Amino acid sequence: MTTATTGVSAGSSAQATINNSLASLANNSQTFLKLLTTQLQNQDPLSPLDTNQFTSQLTQMSGVEQQLLGNQLLQTLVTQQTGVGSAANLIGATVSAPGLTSGASPISGQVTSVEQVNGVTNVTIGNQQVPYSSITSVTYGTPSSTGTGS
């Protein structure tokens, strides 16, 4: 019999990096648009600025934004798939988790299935759905019987 204690990380440093990059890009984009507007308002009508440069810069900013959003979606997908994959390894194992409501008795039993609902990975113990992140211990294999023989 093997016993392990699991802990599922709630956050991800990659997700935080993507969020910081998106916030920085939004600030840079707003600053660029303010500069562009000011420059267009104050340009010499006899010598207008080249619009190709503005268009190119706007396209580049938009491309970077789309890449960051794509990375964010991929990170979410990887996180969800990792949770399901890890939880699937628990099928057949005996797990323990606190009660689903305050004051409820702890839940313990064999995992029979895994499903994901609204981004939350749940395991089925008996007839109850338990969030994967709330599992406190895992026992693989069958418990050894306690005999009195020597």
DSSP string, 84-105: HHHHHTTTTSEEEE--SSTTPP
Mean pLDDT of 58-79: 84
- Residue 6 clears pLDDT 50, i.e. is over it: no
Give residue 14's pLDDT band: very low, low, confident or very high (50, 70, 90).
low
70 vs 11, higher pLDDT: 70
Q: What is the pLDDT of residue 101?
A: 79
- Name the domain count of the chain: 1
Highest averaged pLDDT of the listed ranges 27-36, 38-47, 53-62, 65-74: 65-74
Give the strand order in the sheet containing 128-131. 2-4, 137-140, 94-97, 107-117, 120-125, 128-131
The boundaries of the domain holding residue 100 are 2-43+52-140
pLDDT at 80 over 80: no
User: Would residue 8 count as lying in a domain?
Assistant: yes
Asked whether residue 7 is domain-assigned, the answer is yes
Instruction: Please indicate, yes or no, if residue 92 is contained in any of the structural domains.
Output: yes
**In this structure, is residue 63 part of a structural domain?**
yes
Maximal CA-CA distance, the chain: 104
Is the residue at 148 inside a domain? no
In a domain, 67, yes or no: yes
pLDDT at 8 over 60: no
147: in domain: no
Q: pTM above 0.75?
A: no
Does residue 146 belong to any structural domain of this protein? no
